[in-house]
A and B are shown apart, each in its own frame.
Chain A
Amino acid sequence: MTHLADLLLLLVVLTDFWVLGTTRLSSTIRAAAFQGALLAALPLALHRGVSLHLLALGAGTLLVKAVLLPGFLHRAIREASVRREVEPLIGFTASLGLGAVAVALSFGVAERLPLPESQTALLVPAALATVIVGLLVLTTRNKALTQVVGYLVLENGIYVFGLSQAERVEFLVELGVLLDVFVGVFIMGIVVFHINREFDSLSSARLTELKD
C-alpha cells in the first residue's frame, strides 16, 4: 500500500513542477486538475482498509478538485480568450529552480519535525513543497487566473498535510473545508470574469488604482 502512496506523492511533487514550468493557462489548469485527482486517490492509498469515510472523502475531493473547479476555470479562459501567462515576475526557468530549492528545503524541514509515525516518509515533504510552490505561483504570476491556480495548489499542499490526520478529523469537518475551497475558488472565478470584462485582460498587474 505504501508503495502506491509514495508513487502518488511523487507525482504530486512532479505536478508542482508542471504548474511552475508551463506557459499555457489551459495546461496549468490541467495540471491542477491532475493534482486534484491524485489527491482523491491518496486517502485510500495511505490508510489500511477501505472505510466509507475514506471513500466519501476521495469522491468529494475528486468531484471538487479534479472535475468542478478545473472545468469552471477552463470555461473562464475560454470566454476570456486568453491563452498564455505573460512575462511573470520571475522567469519560468528561475521559478523551476526555486521549485527545486523548495523541495530540498521541505525534505530538510520534514526531517526535523517530530511527527508521529506518519505512514510514509514522503507525505510531509510533499505537502510542504506543494504549499511553497502554491505560494510561489501566487506571488510571481501576473494573470489573475494563474493566481487562482496557485491558490488551489496551496490548498492541495495543506490537504496532503491534513491527510496525515485524516482518520482523526471528522468527515463533516473535511466536507466543510472542501465546500469553503469550492465556494472560494468559484467567487474568485467570477471576479476573474469581471476583471476580464472591465480591463480586457486577465492581468491582476493592471489592478493598481488603489494605493496610498
Chain B
Amino acid sequence: MRLVALVLLPLLAAAAAYARRGARPRSAWLLGAAALHLGLVGSLWVRPARAVLGGWLAVDPLGLVVLSVVSPLFLVVAVYAVGYLATESPRGGRAFVSCLLVFLATTSLVCLSHHLAVLWVGMEATTLALAPLVYHRHDRRSLEAVWKYLVLSSVGIALALFGTFFLAAAQVQGRPLLIEDLLAGARTLQPSLLRAGFVFLLVGFGTKMGLAPLHTWKPDTYGEAPSLVGGLMAGALTSCAFLGLARAAQVMAAAGQAGFMEPLLLGFGIFSLLVAAAFVIGQTDLKRLLAYSSVEHMGLLVLGLGLGGTGVWGSVLHVVNNGLTKGLTFLAVGNIVLATGTSYAPAMRGVLRRVPFSGALLLVALFAVTGSPPFGLFVSEFTILGAAIGGGHPWIGGAVVALLAVIFIGMARTILEVLYGEAEGPPAAREGPLRLAGPLALAAAVLLLGLYLPGPLREMLARASLSLGGAVP
C-alpha cells in the first residue's frame, strides 16, 4: 500500500496543483506531498513494506538508500522552489510545480521497481518530467539546452531498453525481468546475451548519469536550467540512473560475470575523472563548473562499483553524500545567480559581501563537493581510494588522487575568486529565508555524515553493498 502511495501521491498532487490557479494552494500541494513522501519513506526504515503488484514494486536496501536521498532532497528543493517562484515565474509556475511533482513520482517508481522494464519506464519518464523545467526561461540558450538534453537522454535510454530486452532474451527460467528471479536464476542466464545486454544498459544509463564521453548534454543542461532543477538532476536524477546501472551490475555479479563488467566500469570511471579535470580548469561559468563536478562524482561512483569489495560500499555511501552535497551546491549557487543575475564567474566579485549567507554556504559547499574533510564525500572518496590501493590497483589509486587534486584546484580557484574580491554592482538582493533554510539543512547533513554514520544507515549501506556483490569495511 505504502509503495503504491509513494508513486501515486505525488502524481495526484501534480494534478491537483495544476488544477489550482492560485500560487498559495499550489505551494501547499507541493510542500504537503513532499513532506508526506518523506514521512512514508521514513516509515519504510522503521517497518519494511511487503512487495506489491506481483513483485513489481518492492523495497530492498539498494532502492531504499537511493529513495532516502531523493526524498529529503526533494523536500528541500520544494521549499526552495516556493521561494524561487515568488520572484522568478514568467508563466505563473503552474506547469513548473506539476512537473516537479511528476518527477518525484517517477523517481519513486525507479527506486521501488523490481521489474527491469518497469524501471525503464520510470527512468524515461524522469527525463521527460524535467524537460519543460530546463526550458523554464524560454530563450534561445535554454532551447538549445533542452533539445540536447532530450535527444541525447532519449537515445541513451532507448539503448537501455534494448539492453533490457537482451536480458529478457538471456533468461530461461523464472518470471521475466523480475530482479529476484533474475538473481535466483543468474547462473542459468545465457552469458553472451547477458554481456551484450549489460553493455547496452551501461551505455544507456551511463548517458543518463553523464559518464564521459556520454556527458556532453550535461554542462549545457545544468548551465541553462534553473539551479534548483540542476540540483534535482545532479542529486536525484543521476542517483536513479546509477541505481539502474547498479541493478544490471547486481545481475552480472550474481551470474559470475564480474570479470567482464569491472574493466568496463573502471574505464568509464577513470575517463570521467579525466574529462572532469580537463574541463574544470579554466571554466568560467559556475553552473557548468558544477556540471563537470557531477561528471567527476559519477565517475567515482562507477569506479567504486568496478573495484568491487569495499569499493562497492564506498560507492553506495557516495550516492548518499553526492546527492545531498549536489543539492547544497546547486541551491547555494542558485541564490548567488539570483542575486547577481549571472552565472558567469568573471562578472561577479565579492559575493561574500553582497550576499553573506549564500556566499558562506557556497564556501561550505566548495569544500563539501570537492571531498575535503570533515564532509561526507571525503569518507566515501577515501573508502573508494582505499579499495583501489588495497585491491591491487595502486595505479588507479594514484591517478584518482592526482585528478581529484586538479579538480579541487580548478573549482577552488573559480569559486574563491567569485566569493572574495571587491564587491561591485548593485547592493545585495534580499536573501529569502525559504531559499536559505534548505541548503543550510543539507550542509548540516553532509557535515554530520562526514563525522558520524548512524547505526541504521550503516547497516542499510552494508546490506546494499552485499547485495551488489561487494564487501563491508
Contact = CB atoms under 8 A, between A and B. Distances in A.
Nearest to B138: A194
A168 B223 contact: no
A210 to B, nearest CB: 4
Contacts of A154: 155, 158
Interface string B110-145: 000001011011001101100110010010110111
A187 B147 contact: no
A39 interface: no
Given A147-B151, A162-B165, A169-B177, A113 B140 contact: no
Contacts of A179: 121
Contacts of A151: 151, 154-155, 158
A106 to B, nearest CB: 13
Nearest to A147: B151
A179 B125 CA distance: 9
A161 B165 contact: yes
B292 to A, nearest CB: 9
A207 B168 contact: no
A92 interface: no
The DSSP consensus for interface residues of chain A is helix
A158 B147 contact: no
Interface magnitude class on chain B? 35 or more
Interface residues of A, number: 39
B161 interface: yes
A212 B147 contact: no
A158 B154 CA distance: 13
A113 B155 contact: no
B296 interface: no
Contact of B176 (A113, A169, A199, A209): A169
Interface string B84-128: 000000000000000000000000000000010110110011011
Contacts of A184: 124, 127-128, 150, 154
Contacts of A115: 169, 193
Q: Which of A135, A180, A187 has the largest number of chain B CB atoms within 10 A?
A: A180
A116 B169 contact: yes
A147 B117 CA distance: 25
A212 B146 contact: no
B86 to A, nearest CB: 26
B176 A158 contact: no
A164 B144 CA distance: 37
Interface in B181-211: 190, 192-193, 196
B90 to A, nearest CB: 14
Nearest to A204: B147
Given A138-B155, A154-B155, A158-B165, A209 B144 contact: yes
Given A115-B193, A177-B117, A184-B154, 5 more contacts: A116-B190, A144-B147, A162-B168, A195-B147, A207-B144
